Chain A
Amino acid sequence: MFELLGIPPQALFGQLLLGLINGSFYAMLSLGLAVIFGLLNIINFAHGAQYMMGAFVAWMLGNYLGLGYWWALVIAPVVVGASGIVIERLMLSRLYHLDHLYGLLLTFGLALIIQGLFRNAYGVSGMPYTAPPVLAGGQNLGFMFLPNYRAWVVVASLVACFGTWFLIEKTRLGAYLRAATENPTLVGAFGINVPRLITLTYGFGVGLAAFAGVLAAPIYSVNPNMGADLIIVVFAVVVIGGMGSIMGAIVTGFGLGIIEGLTRVFYPEGSAVVIFVIMALVLLVKPQGLFGRPV
C-alpha cells in the first residue's frame, strides 16, 4: 500500500470521510440558521435541540409505531417543523419589535426545556437506531472502505442543501423571501403576507434541522444532548462563513468539516478546537466572515 505524507491512506481517507459527514451536518444546520436569521433576525439557539428532536421522532416512530427510516425521513421534519411553527406563532412573533438578543435568550430557554424534558424521559445514555437494510454494508474502493450509509448521508445532505439553495435563489417563493429579507414593509405593501412567510421560514429551518437529526440517528446514538455541543460549533461555522449567502453557508460547512477531519489525522489534539482557532483568525482578518457583507 502507498503512503501519503507518512499517513496510511485508510486513516487519511477514513478521517476525510468522517470530516465530510461532520461537514454535512454543519452545512445543513448552519444553512437553517442562516435562512432563519435572514428573515427573522433571530439566532435560533434551539436549533441543536430541534436537531435532537428529529432524531428522537425517528426513534419514536420506529419504536412505537413501527414506521421505518424512510417514513421517519419525511415525517420527522414535518412534525418538528410544525412544533417550530407553533413556537414562532406563540412566542417568537412577540419579540420582533425588541432587541435581537431577546430572541437568542428565548430560544436558549426553549433549548433548555426541550433537552431537560428529553433527559427526564429517556436518560442520557442514548438509544441505538439502525440504518435501513438497503444502506447496510459498504463498498471497498481499493484505497478505503466506504460504508453505504455514510455515503448516503453525504449525498442526502448535498441534495437538501442544494434544494434549499434552489428554492431560495431560483423560485418565485424564494424571490419573495429574499425581498422580504431586504425590506419587509415594502414587500408587505405589495400584498404579500410577510408574517406568514416568516412563520413558514422558521418552520422550514427547523424542519431542516430535524432532517439532519434523522440522518444523524444511525451514526450517533439518539441522545438528548446530541445537539447541545454541536450547535456551538455550528455557531462558530456561522461566524466564519457570515450569514449573508446561502452558498457561503454550504461551502463553509463542508469545508470546515473536512479541515477538522484533516486535523484529526495530522494533529489529533487540535481537532476539537481547530474550528474555533479558524474563527479567531477570520475575526482578525475579515471580521464580517468569509461570505459576509461588509458592515
Chain B
Amino acid sequence: MADLATADIGMPEQGPTLGMPRHHMAIFAGLFAFMLVAPFFLYPVFLMKVMCFALFACAFNLLLGYGGLLSFGHAAFFGSASYVSAHAAKVWGLTPELAVLSGTVVAALLGLVIGALAIRRQGIYFAMVTLAFAQMIFFFSVQAPFTGGEDGIQAVPRGRLLGILDISADRTFYFFVLAVTFAGLLVIYRIIHSPFGHILKAIRENEPRSVSLGYRVNRYKLAVFVMSATLAGLAGATKALVFQLASLTDVYWTMSGEVVLMALLGGMGTVFGPIAGAAIVVTLQNYFATFGAWVTVIEGVVFVVGVLLFREGIVGVLSRWLRKPL
C-alpha cells in the first residue's frame, strides 16, 4: 500500500497532541470566513451541495488516504443516511438535527456490518466486496416500501432547529449546513492527527509489521471504516435536507465512483485535497448538467488522466511545491 497516497508528505513536526500547525489553522479559518460571506454573492444551494460533498469526500479520504482501504461502496452509507434522514423529517416529523442524527446512526450501524465483513479481504477484493454490498443496499432501496422507489422521498421539510428556530429558508439553512460540515471536517482532522491516526498510517504502510508490533490490525481497520461510514452518513443525511429529496441516485454506484474521483482529483491522503476535489466536481456537474452524458465522459477522462499523470492530485502537487503537508 506504500504507493497509495504519495501526496502525504510526512507529519507536521509537532507531536500528535500539540494541535494544528499554524498554516492548517489559517486555511481552516480562511475557508470558514469565505463560506460565511459566500452565500451573499453565490447561490446558497450550490454552496450547500459543495459542503455536503466536501464532507463526504473527506470522510471517504479518511478511509482511503489514511487507512489505505479503497471502498467502492460509500454510496451505501451516504444514500441510506439520506433516506433515513428524509423519512425521519417527513414522516416522523423530527426536527432537523434529530433527523440528521438518525441518518448518521443508521450509516454507522451499516458501516459496522459491512465493514466487519469487508475487512476480511484485502486490496482489490476489499473494493469489490464494498461495491457489491453497496449494490445490495441499492437493490434493497429499489424494493423497500419507505424509499418511494423511482420517485424517492420528495418535499422533505427542513423544519425548526431544536423545534424552535425556523431554518427552512435557504439563507438560514445554509448556516446549519456550514456548522455541520465544519464540525465534521474538524472531527476528521482530529482523527487523522491522533495516535489512532498514526497507527492507521503504520498499518497502511506495512500491515505485517504493524501486526508484529502487537497492533490488532483488524480492529483499527474496522474502527476507521465505521468512522468513515458515519461521517459519510452525516454528509448524506444533511444533503437530504438541503435538496429536500432522497433518491436512488444517492445509493447508486455512480455516487461511490464520484466520491473516489473527488478524493483522487484533490489528492488522496491530504487534509484539504478532497475539499478541493469536491468543489471542482460539483462545479463541473453544475455547468455541464445540460450536456447529458458528457458529464460522465468528462469524469471518466479525469479519472484516466488523474491515474496516469496526476496521482498526487491538485493539493498533493501544491503541497510538494510548498514543501508543507496540506
Contact = CB atoms under 8 A, between A and B. Distances in A.
Contacts of A7: none
Given A115-B296, A239-B128, A273-B139, A109 B121 contact: no
Contact of B128 (A95, A105, A236): A236
A283 interface: yes
B132 A119 contact: no
Contact of B132 (A105, A239, A284): A239
Contacts of B125: 239
A233 B133 CA distance: 10
A119 B293 contact: yes
Interface stretch (B12-20, B158-166, B173-181, B298-306): B298-306
A108 B303 contact: yes
A104 interface: yes
Contacts of B293: 115-117, 119-120
Nearest to B134: A232
B211 interface: no
B311 A102 contact: yes
A106 interface: yes
Contacts of A98: 3, 311
A99 B127 contact: no
A60 interface: no
A233 to B, nearest CB: 7
Interface string A105-125: 110111111111101100000
A232 B135 contact: yes
B143 interface: yes
B136 A239 contact: no
B136 A276 contact: yes
B131 interface: yes
A100 interface: yes
Pick the most buried of B2, B124, B253, B306: most chain A CB atoms within 10 A of its CB: B124
B117 A283 contact: yes
Nearest to B135: A232
A112 B135 contact: no
B43 interface: no
At the interface, is chain A mostly helix, strand, loop or mixed? helix
A111 B300 contact: yes
Contacts of B292: 119-120
Contact of A91 (B1, B296, B304): B304
B214 to A, nearest CB: 21
At the interface, is chain B mostly helix, strand, loop or mixed? helix
Contacts of A108: 257, 260, 303
B146 interface: no
Interface string A200-239: 0000000000000000000000000000110011011011
B246 interface: no
A96 to B, nearest CB: 12
A125 to B, nearest CB: 13
A109 B302 contact: yes
A99 B3 contact: yes
A86 to B, nearest CB: 13
Contacts of A276: 132-133, 135-136, 139
B322 interface: no
Interface string A255-287: 000000000000001001100110110011001
A257 B294 CA distance: 34
A94 B294 CA distance: 26
Nearest to B142: A272
A179 to B, nearest CB: 22
B289 interface: no
A99 B4 contact: yes
Given A105-B303, A112-B297, A235 B140 contact: no
A53 interface: no
A11 interface: no
A101 B117 CA distance: 20
A43 B128 contact: yes
Contacts of B294: 116, 120
Interface in B258-280: 260, 264
A232 B253 contact: yes
B300 A113 contact: yes
Given A273-B140, A283-B120, A287-B121, A112 B303 contact: yes
Contacts of B21: none
B70 A101 contact: yes
B31 interface: no
Contact of B124 (A101, A119, A277, A287): A101
B195 interface: no
Nearest to A98: B3
Interface of B: 1-4, 70, 72, 117-118, 120-125, 127-129, 131-133, 135-136, 139-140, 142-143, 253, 257, 260, 264, 292-297, 299-304, 306-308, 311
Interface of A: 37, 43, 91, 94-95, 98-102, 104-106, 108-117, 119-120, 228-229, 232-233, 235-236, 238-239, 269, 272-273, 276-277, 279-280, 283-284, 287-288, 295
Given A91-B304, A119-B292, 5 more contacts: A109-B307, A114-B300, A116-B297, A269-B143, A295-B122
25 contacts: A91-B308, A99-B2, A101-B4, A101-B70, A104-B72, A104-B127, A105-B260, A112-B300, A113-B296, A113-B300, A116-B293, A116-B294, A116-B296, A119-B292, A120-B297, A232-B135, A233-B132, A238-B128, A239-B121, A239-B129, A269-B143, A272-B139, A284-B117, A287-B120, A287-B121
